[in-house]
Amino acid sequence: GDYSCTFTYSAQGGTNEQWQMNVGVGEDNGLFSCSIWRPQGKSYLFFTQFKAEVKGAKIEYAMAYSQAAVGAQNDIPLKQEEFEVTETTVSHREGKFRFELSKLMIVAKTPRDEL
Q: Are 49 and 93 in contact (CB under 8 A)?
A: no
The verdict on residue 114 lying in a domain is: no
- Return the CATH number at 91: 2.60.40
Q: Residue 2: its pLDDT value, please?
A: 82
Q: Tell me what the pLDDT averaged over the chain comes to.
A: 92
The verdict on residue 45 lying in a domain is: yes
* pLDDT tens digits along 23-77: 988 877 789 999 999 999 999 999 999 999 999 999 999 999 999 988 888 999 9
Domain that holds residue 23: 4-109
The verdict on residue 58 lying in a domain is: yes
Residue 4 has pLDDT above 80, yes or no: yes
Q: Residue 61: its pLDDT value, please?
A: 96
Please give the share of the chain, as a percent, with pLDDT higher than 90.
78
Q: Residue 1: its pLDDT value, please?
A: 65
Average pLDDT for 16-24? 92
The verdict on residue 115 lying in a domain is: no
The verdict on residue 9 lying in a domain is: yes
Question: Reading across the β-sheet that carries 46-55, which strands appear in turn?
Answer: 4-12, 46-55, 89-92, 83-85
The verdict on residue 29 lying in a domain is: yes
Q: Give the number of domains in the chain.
A: 1
Average pLDDT for 93-103? 97
